[in-house]
Amino acid sequence: MQTAQRVAIVTGGSGGIGRATAARLAADGMAVVVHYAHHRAPAEQVVQAITEAGGTAVADGGDIADEAAMTALFDRAQQRFGGLDVLVHTAGIMPLAPVEQLDLDVFDRVQRTNVRGTMVVDQLAARRLRSGGAIVNFSTSITRLQTPGYAAYAASKGAVEALTLILARELAGRDVTVNAVAPGPTATPLFFEGKPQQLIDQIAGANPFGRLGTPEDIAELVAFLAGPGRWINGQVLYANGGMA
């Protein structure tokens, strides 16, 4: 059992931003639990890459919105590593449709995963993180850009922002920071899904840097919030290259 090493859980750790974040936190010396929802193999690939680079990581899975599954995951992480210090919650879904055409079952699924899922893991982290810990949730720059088709997703992330800001204040005196990162368009499988190349090029061209963000761009900010950025608390940080 390890107690000196800081320990992080990265939900959605086999996805684009989650994968880059898990690798970055491991490079910073943390033991990382790479969470996956359904498919273990991609998470194991992340673990293998981290361990081959000299880091410490394990894969663990479960429905992010199921409190029993997530309680068991947190239990296993604590038993294996002796404590918990950081939660990075990247897991989420992003079905797109105009409000007029949106299937309400899809809307409910987005809210369950993105809002309830955040509540479940934040609640567990609030109860378990050691002094000096950090919770990093994920919102989106879409809440500022107001892009048509993203209503269900943006609504869920507005709720995540509210939860983040209130939890930061509820944890006063605990020495645990709570922030949200709100990426702009980022080159991940989730972003590319269903988009023609012309639209991708148009979105990239709207950024002052003339490109999409990369998962590593976002992981850099997460690592700061999870590590030395102790005076940043109760904030939503927009990581989009100046797009919004």
Enumerate the domain spans of the chain: 7-236
What is the C-alpha to C-alpha distance for residues 75 and 78, in angstroms, rounded to an integer? Answer: 5
Please check whether residue 215 is in contact with residue 186, taking contact to mean a CB–CB distance below 8 angstroms: yes
Q: What is the per-residue pLDDT across 161-198, written as a single tens digit (0 to 9) for each?
A: 999 999 999 999 999 999 999 999 999 988 888 789 99
Q: What's residue 244's pLDDT?
A: 72
Cα distance between residue 11 and residue 181, in whole Å: 14
Whether 2 shows a pLDDT value over 50: the answer reads no
Phi, psi of 191 (to 5 degrees): -70, -45
Q: What's the CATH superfamily of 7-236?
A: NAD(P)-binding Rossmann-like Domain (3.40.50.720)
Report whether pLDDT(80) > 80: yes
Instruction: Count CB neighbours of 61 within 10 A.
Output: 17
List residues with catalytic annotation: 153
26-39 average pLDDT score:
96
226-237 residue pLDDT tens:
999 999 999 999
b vs e for 193-209, b when ≥16 Cβ sit within 10 Å of the residue's Cβ? Answer: eeeeeeeeeebbeebee
